[in-house]
Amino acid sequence: MHATFKPRYPLLASLSALTGLIILIASSPVRAAEPPMLINPGIDGTWLNASGGIQGLFVETDASTNSLLAFWFTYARSGSDRDWLVGTGAINGAAADLTVFSVEGGQFGELSTTDISPWGSARIEFQDCQQASFSFDSPQEGIFDNFQMQRLFPATECVAQLAAAHQTYVTQTNRWLDATGTWVFDYCVNLEANLSHGREEFRFAENSLEILIDYYAARDCQGAKTVETLSFELYRKDTALASLGDAEVVANRVLLIDPDNGETVEQIFYFDDAVNPPVMTHGNFTGTRDVQGWPATLHNLFATPLR
């Protein structure tokens, strides 16, 4: 449960109609000791059933389609034949839901035609870079189950790429985009009597976000200017659908943590790389929320990368 509090940033509440950065206090705020798990290219490789036996999956990620491909090497229910199953599906945070197919009819060393038929569904969820859970359901075979997996080789690459994964966002074109750098909103918005808001800079760095906001002591971005700086730890969580005007788009859910006191902001970011330059916007806290309390409406003002 979260509760709204009076922000320590004097003008933050009045700015919320544009930035959506209303601070929320978690009931028991805890700063993350390390980045939470996200699927990244470092998980590519061989994962074995942790209970033993030479059965498992070979996993590969595709940044161009935000998808995961898994080859499941197992045995037929009779125990006498090998089964080769293939699953593919979209990545969402630390998990991927897969559509699974069976592959039969091939011959050793031959480019023969194989029979590919629907088998069922599966879900793979990574607890960390070394452990994952795998669950499956095959109506065709009448079976469902789950098991734990462990990585065959050390997870050095996964650990090294995890921090970068928190700056890599799923875009409108379903690709991965590294948002590291500065994104600029160049608008003037009148807030309340004798107050307006101008340029914003969103500075994305490794596991952090710094926001610089220009305020003016008069309307239409006139009068004396002050610059407010907000600094957060940043951890990307997963993706969710959000409203952008009349459209429903894929947004990225992130957790922003004040490093001084552990106060948290649950926010969403949207990136569109189908245009040049790409654009970014974020959630509107005065709009709708999803069932988990995250913003579900995006602003229709956009930032572009600072060149």
Q: What is the pLDDT of residues 173-185, one digit of tens each?
A: 999 999 999 999 9
**268-272 long-range contacts, Cβ below 8 Å, gap at least 24?**
268/240, 268/242, 268/294, 268/295, 268/296, 268/298, 269/169, 269/179, 270/172, 270/242, 270/244, 270/298, 271/169, 271/170, 271/171, 271/172, 271/177, 271/179, 272/171, 272/172, 272/173
pLDDT in tens, 127-151: 999 999 999 999 988 899 999 999 9
CA separation for the pair 156, 43 (Å, rounded): 9
Which pLDDT score, from 0 to 100, does residue 80 have? Answer: 63
pTM for this predicted structure: 0.85
Which pLDDT score, from 0 to 100, does residue 278 have? Answer: 97
CATH entry, 41-158, from 3.40.50.2000, 1.10.443.10, 2.40.128.20, 1.10.3720.10? 2.40.128.20
At 279, phi and psi to the nearest 5? -125, 160
Which pLDDT score, from 0 to 100, does residue 28 have? Answer: 38
* Greatest C-alpha distance within the chain: 81
pLDDT in tens, 95-105: 999 999 988 77
Asked if residues 149 and 48 have their Cβ atoms less than 8 Å apart, the reply is yes
**Which tokens go with 218?**
């008069």
- Distances 164 to 70, 94, 120, 264, 279 between C-alpha atoms, Å: 23, 14, 33, 21, 20
Q: Per mean pLDDT, which range of 38-47, 101-110, 218-227, 287-296 is the poorest?
A: 101-110
CA separation for the pair 2, 144 (Å, rounded): 37
**pLDDT bracket for residue 252 (50, 70, 90):** very high
CATH 2.40.128.20, the chain: domain bounds: 41-158
CA separation for the pair 151, 47 (Å, rounded): 4
